[in-house]
Amino acid sequence: MVDLTRRRFLQSAAAASTFAAPVAARAPRSGAGWLRAPVAIASGNGLQAVELAVQRMIEGWRPVDAAVAGVELVENDPNDDSVGLGGLPNEDGVVELDACVMDGPSGLGGAVGALQNIKNPAQVALKVMRHTDHVLLVGEGALRFARAHGFAEENLLTEASRKAWLEWREKRSARDKWVSPDENGEHGREWFQKYKHKTGTIHLGAIAANGDVGSCTTTSGLAFKIPGRVGDSPLLGCGNYCDNDVGTGGATGRGEACILANGGSFVVHQMALGKSPLDACLEACRRVVRLTKVKRLLDEKGRPDFQVQFYAANKSGETGAAALYAGKYAVCDAAGARLVDLASLYDEPPR
């Protein structure tokens, strides 16, 4: 586990103090005073990401830029099959990425959806926020915009993700012309079930020591989705939201459920009404359960048969996260970077 000790924090803070002016110059708006250290919260695949984000904020980076720097580690990791390079592709075998960013102090956001060939969509989302009067660009338009800003194009399909797609293609149906040599479709349905709701994603919420907030979510989305499908991750208010007077809220897991629940903004709104980050996330989980009504999405006990996780941080640096089913999330604060158990409505791991 990556450990950011208090001593390293103090050393870093001392080293950074000479060039921390962009953040340090702004007075805290909460009236609650300065935090002991910046804070970052992320999904369970973000342990190194939260540590880097906190480090960047100590160096004076804006929270939104620190969040994007953190998630970039995961976007560049070919072994994470839910984000950036190596993300599982759409049903045509093409990787399509979604991301959004939000900057608390300016109240601005930027996003890209169904972006192909660019492994760092969160960076492109930052450019949308800073270089356009729009919030969301999708598909070919997003790619052309990324090209205009000098992003390099590359094939995002790795050998592992191509093989996973091919296996899915061969086994998903016994009624098409794709055939799996080893199973010939016999067990294909079971395998298809396994990938039915396969999502991953990284969300990262960042709170600077002065209470400014920023956030980011980036993903390759639902595995083997219909081309053009956009999940919650690039939709501000769904997979990601922040309000500089309140804090950050974000989600990972089944994007359709989070969109229908407006998860990110719901979490932030709950905190604005006075709930702790943990209680805000638990309330969002209950909302997903309440809104999930169709039988095809319920298990034999009547519970949603998919996973959704919510993450929250407030301006005072308190964090919390909750999910329908058990799991972990990552946090970094004055005590260092660590993985923590998610609070969950149900004890089991996700199906």
Kindly list the residues in this chain that would bind ligand GLY in the complex (CB under 6 A): 199, 201, 219, 221-222, 231-233, 239, 252-255
Q: What backbone torsions phi and psi does residue 278 show, to the nearest 5 degrees?
A: -65, -45
Residue number, 54 or 322, with CB nearest to ligand GLY: 322
Find the catalytic residue in 199, 201, 218, 292.
Answer: 201
Question: CB-hemisphere CA count at 13 Å for 62?
Answer: 15
Radius of gyration of the chain (CA): 20
Q: How far apart are CA 267 and CA 37, in angstroms?
A: 23
> In the bound complex, what is the minimum distance in angstroms from residue 5's beta carbon to ligand GLY?
33
218 is catalytic: no
What's the burial of 257, exposed, middle or buried (CB within 10 Å: 0-12/13-18/19+)? Answer: buried
Token representation of residue 210: 């002065």
Q: Which residue has the tokens 């359709």?
A: 256
CA distances in angstroms from 7 to 11, 99, 242, 318, listed in the order given: 6, 34, 30, 21
Q: Which is nearer to ligand GLY, 307 or 314 (CB)?
A: 307
Reference 203, options 169, 251, 260; nearest CA is 251
β-partners of residue 203 are 217
Q: Minimum distance from CB of 4 to ligand GLY (Å)?
A: 27
Handedness of CA 254, 259, 264, 269 (dihedral sign): negative
| Cα distance between the two ends of the chain | 26
Nearer to ligand GLY, 57 or 259 (CB): 259
Calculate the alpha carbon distances from 326 to 114, 290, 342, 349 in Å: 29, 19, 6, 5
Which residues, listed in sequence order, are joined to residue 338 by a DSSP beta bridge?
A: 331
3-state secondary structure 204-215: EEEECCCCCEEE
- Placement of tokens 């690039």 in the chain: 234
CA distance 26 to 14: 18
CB of residue 49 vs ligand GLY: minimum separation in angstroms? 16
Minimum distance from CB of 251 to ligand GLY (Å)?
Answer: 7
Least distance to ligand GLY, CB of residue 134, Å = 21
Question: Which residue, 44 or 60, is less far from ligand GLY as judged by CB?
Answer: 44
Cα–Cα distance, 31 to 189 (Å, whole number): 57
Q: How far is the CB of 135 from ligand GLY (least distance, A)?
A: 18
Which CB sits closer to ligand GLY, 252 or 270?
252
Interatomic CA distance for residues 124 and 112, integer angstroms = 7
Would you say 198 or 338 has its CB closer to ligand GLY? 198
In the bound complex, what is the minimum distance in angstroms from residue 259's beta carbon to ligand GLY? 8
Nearer to ligand GLY, 214 or 255 (CB): 255
**Residue 17 · residue 309 · CB < 8 Å:** no
Enumerate the active-site residues. Answer: 201
